[in-house]
């Protein structure tokens, strides 16, 4: 295999695929979260972005879109989910359900999902703390607070943990 699979430059390159997806979503008037599923040799198996607004589908998160785009696989061992934002509980469940080995996260400043839980259960978590990803989310949340609360399942009465 060329280069170490945990080479930080490789992970940054994968993150650009997710960021490109997030920007596509912005262009479509959607939520700026993008993701890609990366194969054992670093190839992009599938990519996608949150489509809550575009498809009126609350189950189409960036990670699920990338996962679905990748199609069927016998095993997810040695695959990496790269996402611009800490994965929510729903997407963390997907990672654990299918045994995706690693999650590379753009940022966890604007939202913290289940990545600590994943780490506790053996998923390799890499948090890149990327300023581009933070800026995308901060800009979006400031402009669309209600849409953001809807996406993370916060109805104002309780916060999902």
The nearer residue to Zn ion, 9 or 50, going by C-beta atoms, is 50
Q: Contact 44/21 with Cβ under 8 angstroms? A: no
- Cα separation, 57 vs 2, in Å, equals 39
Number of residues that bind Zn ion (CB under 5 A): 4
Cα dihedral 150/90/73/83 (nearest 10)? 70
Establish if 88 lies at the interface with Zn ion (CB under 5 A).
yes
Q: Contact 58/52 with Cβ under 8 angstroms? A: yes
Q: Tokens in use for 127?
A: 């948090």
Residues belonging to the active site: 63
Stretch 32-71: interaction string toward Zn ion, x if CB under 5 A = -----------------------------x----------
Q: Shortest gap between Cβ of 4 and Zn ion (angstroms)?
A: 28
Residues near Zn ion, by CB under 5 A: 61, 88, 90-91
């Amino acid at each position: 295999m060329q280069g170490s699979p945990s080479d930080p430059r490789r992970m940054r390159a994968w993150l650009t695929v997710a960021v490109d997806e997030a920007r596509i979503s912005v262009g479509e008037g959607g939520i700026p979260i993008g993701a890609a599923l990366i194969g054992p040799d670093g190839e992009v198996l599938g990519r996608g972005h949150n489509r809550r607004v575009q498809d009126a589908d609350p189950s189409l998160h960036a990670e699920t879109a990338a996962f679905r785009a990748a199609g069927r696989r016998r095993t997810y061992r040695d695959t990496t989910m790269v996402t611009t934002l800490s994965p929510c509980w729903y997407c963390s469940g997907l990672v654990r359900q299918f045994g995706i080995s690693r999650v590379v996260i753009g940022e966890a400043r604007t939202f913290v999902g289940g990545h600590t839980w994943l780490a506790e259960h053996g998923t390799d978590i890499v948090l890149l703390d990327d300023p581009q990803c933070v800026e995308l989310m901060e800009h979006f949340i400031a402009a669309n607070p209600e849409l953001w609360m809807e996406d993370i399942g916060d109805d104002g009465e309780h916060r999902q943990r």
